[in-house]
Chains A and B, each alone.
Chain A
Amino acid sequence: MSAPRVLFNIGGFSLHLFGLMVALGFLAGTYAAFRGAEKKGYDKEKVADLLLYMLIGGVIGARVLYVVQNLGYFLPNPLSILSIHQGGLSFHGAFFGGAAVVFYYTRKHRLSFLELADILAPGLVIGYAIGRIGCDIYGNVTNVPWAVTVEGIKRHPVQLYSALAAYIIFVLLVERSKKQHFNGEIFLLFVASYSVYRFFIEFFRTASTNLIFSPAQYLSIITAAAGLLLLFLYKKYMPKQRGVQ
């Protein structure tokens, strides 16, 4: 890990590269979600409202899971839980926080959770790809020709691996959505492919742990298995949806 990269300072305000890329990722994700919503005849304003709630739920979920994963640090320093600006967010937490918001929203407005999840999944993954480019967590020490030099040490460019993997998943989801067979297919494909990617990327990231796998890897095994199982069951037992292209 290196110090957060600051693009510029104005007065007391500093713009971090990570913050900028997350914001750009959110915009790209919003655009992709709008395109998906338009194709399925959803009201754009409702989707915009939902995205805002998801952003709030996602940040809370991301912080909560990060704190739970690092209780050893946060229990003696409970006030530092609020210091989000110092870093420490978990994408898995953001995902569960955002999914909970979508679940509540669809129940309240009597919408299909799976249909909305299909619309939102490509936007989520392209936003993730762009956000990762600005991430400050580099990989393990290596000598590969494409390594990046961080403070004089060559490291795996894990942010690039993550961004490319997420981008490939995005292409896969967009192409698949053109010949989608059932509601939930795109969302489940996202859950399974993201989990597989996340499991493997963890081997290249700096993480000191006494466990065989990191907590994110254990979680990825569970979500990958659940995603693949549901994908298989839905494909086998769900009738082809009318209105799904």
Chain B
Amino acid sequence: MRGCCGSGKNNNNDQEKSGAPAPWFLWFTAGLLIIALYYLLNGSI
């Protein structure tokens, strides 16, 4: 169990070092783009 947690922690460190944005940030940004696209298309009807 301890080994399992340890390996997960290492993966997170690797991700932070690589400089790639966290997955939740990408998901959240894509969600905002959907909202923006919708209001762009429905601004004046």
Separation of A11 and B33 alpha carbons in the complex (Å): 33
The bracket for how many chain A residues form the interface is 10 to 19
Chain B positions within 8 Å of A5 at CB level: 41, 45
Q: Which residues of chain B are near A160, meaning CB under 8 Å? A: 34-35, 38-39
Q: Which chain A residues numbered 89 to 145 have a C-beta less than 8 Å away from chain B?
A: 129, 133-134
Min Cβ gap A49→B in Å is 29
Answer whether residue B25 sits at the interface, using C-beta atoms and an 8 A cutoff.
Answer: no
Which B residues are CB-close (under 8 A) to A157?
Answer: 38, 42
Q: Within residues 6 to 45 of chain B, which ones have a CB less than 8 A from any CB in chain A?
A: 23, 27, 30-31, 34-35, 37-39, 41-42, 45
Chain B residues in 8 Å Cβ range of A175? 23
Please determine whether B45 and A150 come into contact, CB atoms closer than 8 angstroms.
yes
Contacts of A171 in B (CB 8 A): 27
9 closest cross-chain pairs (CB), A and B: A160-B38, A148-B42, A150-B45, A171-B27, A163-B34, A133-B38, A167-B34, A167-B31, A133-B37
Give every chain B residue within 8 A of A148 (Cβ-Cβ): 39, 42, 45
Sample of 19 further A-B pairs with CB below 8 A, known A149-B45, A163-B34: A2-B45, A5-B41, A5-B45, A17-B41, A129-B34, A133-B34, A133-B38, A133-B41, A134-B41, A148-B45, A159-B38, A159-B42, A160-B34, A160-B38, A164-B31, A164-B35, A167-B30, A167-B34, A168-B31
* Residues in B neighbouring A167, C-beta threshold 8 A: 30-31, 34
